Structure formats: C-alpha cells, structure tokens
Copies of this chain bind each other. A is one copy, B any other.
Amino acid sequence: MARSALPAAPPAEDDSGASLVSFVVDSIVDGVMRGRYVPGQRLIAADLAEDYGVSRAPVREALHMLAGEGVVELVANRGARIRRLSVAELVDFLEFTEAICVLGVRLATSRMGQEEPRAEVIRHYDAVEEAWARRHARDFVVALYQYHIALNRIGGNRFLEFFYERPYIRFYTLLLADLVPGFNWDKYIDNYRLIHATILSGDSHTAVVHFASHIRWVLSNMRRSEAPA
C-alpha cells in the first residue's frame, strides 16, 4: 500500500488569535501523522524553532503539551522524542480501545433510528470504502478512525468524543496501521462491512458482539506476529 509524506504547512502568516504554541503543536501532530516525525525520533527545540520560524519558548511549551498528551516523551536533560511503542504496548492499546469503541458502537447503534445520525454514519463509512478501493493503508486507517469518531459523536458521550479525538489516540491508531505487514486486510474490511451493516440495523447487542469479535481477531493476529519480532 502507498504512503504519503508531504512537508508540513508553512509557518503561518497572520493567523492572529491562534497562539504560536498551538501552531507548533498542530504542526508536530501533523508531522507525525504524515510520517515526517517517526517514533523515537529526537525533537530538538532549536531546530523546530527554526523550522517553524518561532523562538524556543513556544516550542518547549508545545513539546510539554504533547508530552501531556502522550505523543512525545520527555527525559530530563535529554529533551524530547516522539513516543515509541512496542508491539506489546500496541496490543494493550488495541485491547484498551476495544473497550472504548464498544461503548461508542453501542451508544451510536441505538440512535440509528434517527435520520441525521444514520446519514452521517453512512457518509463516513463510504469514505472508508473509498479509501479501501484506493488501497491506501494510511487513508484507510484514518477513514476508519473518522468513522469511529462519528460513532462516538453520535453516541452522545462527550467524554468519549473528547477522548477519542486526542492526538495520542490518532497517533497510536496510526502506528497500528504500520504494524503486522502480512496482515489479512481483506478479512479486516469484511469484518467492518458486517459491523457497519449491523450498526445500521440498530441492533446494539449484535453490533457490539461483531465489533468485539473483530478486535479479538485483530489481537490474535498481532499476538501471533509478536513472537518472531
């Protein structure tokens, strides 16, 4: 599958109102998402400051914010690097998100009787299929992420929505995409077709069962691939 890697956005001209810190945070997150910054990569404040045309102060504040988010790890007197996760940690993360997404799936499914939520879910799912048709791994994972975002928003639990949109969730989700090279993606999308259909049917219980079953299948594949690596 293909992979995009564009340069980050320009240093911004006159977006007064937004602070430099948030600009730098967004830029770094964007860089991570685009693969410009990879896990374990060291982030040198002075370099970032020059790259983004700001001083080191807002860069340091941005790095601390991202450290709070869990995207960056800070070591005393050794600065910042993009957080690196082992396969084992990603397995744990996936097991964790299963619990989260199950809640989202359950809440959203119970609202499929209403017109607008239903249309929104369908719209987001179409984007998943579209990315799948293009065989673009990153876009596919991002579209699936957006699909779950939509489910969570529709579900109506604000904390769930807040949590799932945090950068480190996006980041870890993306890392999952780069994992398990020989993965059976055909079965993956088939699972989601079933899940999506069940969600639309409004049957919360079955939707959760299908979703949990899918995650368990992914987990078993990841655990298998863990041993050789």
Q: Which residues of A are in contact with B by a Cβ distance under 8 Å?
A: 17-19, 21-22, 57, 60-62, 64-70, 76-77, 88-89, 92-93, 95-96, 99-100, 102-103, 157-160, 162-163
Contacts and interface: CB of A to CB of B under 8 A. Distances in A.
A68 B73 CA distance: 13
Given A21-B64, A66-B68, 8 more contacts: A64-B68, A65-B65, A65-B67, A67-B68, A70-B162, A92-B159, A95-B160, A96-B157
Q: Which of A17, A21, A99 has the most CB of B within 10 A?
A: A99
A19 B61 contact: no
Contact of A64 (B17, B65, B95, B162): B65
Contact of A61 (B22, B61, B77, B96): B61
A23 to B, nearest CB: 11
Contacts of A64: 21, 61-62, 64-65, 68
A76 B160 contact: no
A215 to B, nearest CB: 12
29 contacts: A19-B76, A19-B77, A21-B64, A22-B76, A57-B60, A61-B61, A61-B64, A65-B68, A66-B68, A68-B68, A68-B69, A68-B70, A69-B69, A70-B162, A88-B158, A89-B158, A89-B159, A92-B157, A92-B158, A92-B160, A93-B159, A95-B160, A96-B100, A96-B103, A96-B160, A96-B163, A99-B99, A99-B102, A100-B100
Contacts of A22: 76
A157 B95 contact: yes
A24 to B, nearest CB: 11
A92 to B, nearest CB: 4
A95 B163 CA distance: 13
Contacts of A70: 68, 162
Q: Which of A66, A68, A88, A102 has the most CB of B within 10 A?
A: A68
Contacts of A62: 64
A99 to B, nearest CB: 5
Contact of A100 (B76, B99, B162): B99
